């Protein structure tokens, strides 16, 4: 081969240095353009990225459960029925024939009803009994009791003594409380509570519980600052077998003579709103105490 031809061919073959420089330029250009070239199976291949399932550290924590608030307890007389018997009626005196007829009072007869007494200034006992019953009803209902009255107004006549007991029996009462005020000598003073005595066939099933109710009423009235009677009974308690309202009752029954309307002090107490409130407060406490222990 001519020498000139060999020289021309050797000039067309790039030297190894030039080749290396060219590769370096290409790599630098690739890096500058943001490309990363990896060979398959190379040891520095990118590892797969695991996806986290844990909540973000900036997420709000779940609210704590609200504390359970227990329901309020039921009122003390919930589910109880009390029958209040405001004694007599304002117009009984205008109906002598009706109130004079005889009724069964527990194995014997008595007249249907009476007129009751009055203060020296003419306030009828029937009205005092009615106002006290209304004040007491309000308190007992606030304590959860169902309250039934044996008459629905301070007007008209009756009902008769046997019917007053029958109201409590029909209503399935837990207690019958008959409200009265006495009319004795002007010097006689104080209240007394009457429980039915033992009358076989009539009161033998209620006598013991009625006695317990009478004691509860007496104790609450004393605690309320009222004075037991100075003229009858013993320490504010009495027992009788001649009262048809008590004898005909099939549920525990007591009768309150809240004071002597012929005594100036007792009359002032029982005809004033403040005095009636004192008596009603004490009676409400007595009924609650009696029925709470009867559950």
- Residue 247 phi/psi, 5° resolution? -65, -35
Residue of 223, 220, 199, 195 lying closest to 209 (CA atoms) = 195
Neighbours of 163 (CB within 10 A): 18
Round to whole Å and give the CA distance between 26 and 60.
51
What token pair was written down for 250? 């099939």
SS3 category, 104: strand
Active-site pick, 125, 131, 163, 257:
257
Round to whole Å and give the CA distance between 200 and 190.
31
Question: Could you give the C-alpha distances from 120 to 124, 125, 185, in angstroms and in order?
Answer: 10, 11, 11
Neighbours of 8 (CB within 10 A): 10
Round to whole Å and give the CA distance between 255 and 35.
108
257 flagged as catalytic:
yes
For the residues of 10-31, what is the DSSP string, one character each?
HHHSPPHHHHHHHHHHHHHHHH
Round to whole Å and give the CA distance between 154 and 164.
15
Catalytic residue ranges? 257
């Amino acid at each position: 081969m001519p020498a000139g031809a060999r020289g021309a061919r050797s000039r067309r073959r790039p030297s190894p240095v030039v080749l290396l420089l060219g590769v370096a330029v290409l790599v630098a250009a690739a890096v500058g353009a943001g490309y990363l070239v990896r060979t398959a199976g190379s040891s520095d291949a990118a590892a797969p990225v695991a996806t986290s399932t844990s909540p973000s550290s900036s997420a709000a924590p779940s609210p704590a459960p609200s504390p359970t608030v227990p329901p309020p307890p039921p009122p003390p007389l919930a589910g109880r029925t009390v029958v209040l018997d405001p004694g007599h009626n304002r117009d009984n005196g205008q109906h002598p024939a009706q109130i004079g007829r005889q009724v069964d009072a527990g194995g014997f007869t008595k007249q249907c009803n009476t007129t009751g007494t009055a203060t020296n200034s003419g306030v009828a006992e029937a009205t005092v009994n009615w106002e006290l019953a209304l004040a007491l009803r309000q308190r007992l209902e606030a304590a959860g009791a169902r309250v039934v009255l044996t008459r629905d107004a301070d007007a008209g006549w009756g009902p008769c003594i046997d019917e007053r007991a029958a109201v409590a029996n029909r209503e399935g009462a837990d207690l019958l409380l008959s409200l009265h005020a006495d009319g004795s000598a002007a010097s006689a003073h104080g209240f007394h509570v009457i429980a039915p005595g033992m009358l076989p066939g009539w009161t033998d099933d209620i006598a013991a519980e009625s006695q317990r109710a009478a004691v509860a009423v007496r104790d609450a009235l004393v605690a309320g600052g009222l004075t037991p009677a100075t003229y009858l009974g013993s320490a504010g308690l009495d027992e009788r077998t001649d009262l048809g309202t008590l004898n005909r009752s099939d549920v525990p029954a007591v009768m309150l003579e809240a004071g002597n309307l012929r005594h100036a002090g007792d009359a002032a107490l029982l005809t004033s709103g403040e005095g009636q409130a004192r008596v009603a407060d004490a009676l409400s406490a007595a009924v609650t105490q009696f029925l709470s222990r009867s559950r």
